[in-house]
Amino acid sequence: MSRLLFIIAIIAVVYWWFKSVRKQPPRQDEPPRAEDMVRCVRCGVHLPKNESFLVGGKYYCSEAHSRDQSGNTD
Q: Say yes or no to pLDDT of 23 above 60.
A: yes
Q: Is residue 63 part of a domain?
A: yes
Q: Is residue 46 part of a domain?
A: yes
Percentage of the chain beyond pLDDT 90 is: 58
pTM over 0.85: no
**Mean pLDDT of the region 13-30:** 79
Kindly write down the DSSP assignment for every residue of 26-59, as one continuous string: PP-PPPPPP--EEE-TTT--EEEGGGSEEETTEE
Beta carbons within 10 angstroms of residue 61's beta carbon: 20
Q: Is residue 55 part of a domain?
A: yes
Q: Is residue 15 part of a domain?
A: no
Q: Is residue 4 part of a domain?
A: no
Q: Is residue 49 part of a domain?
A: yes
Q: Is residue 51 part of a domain?
A: yes
**Higher pLDDT pick, 26 / 51:** 51
Selection from 41, 29, 30 nearest residue 67 by Cα: 41
The domain total for the chain is 1
Q: Say yes or no to pLDDT of 46 above 70.
A: yes
Domain containing 43 equals: 37-67
Q: Is residue 22 part of a domain?
A: no
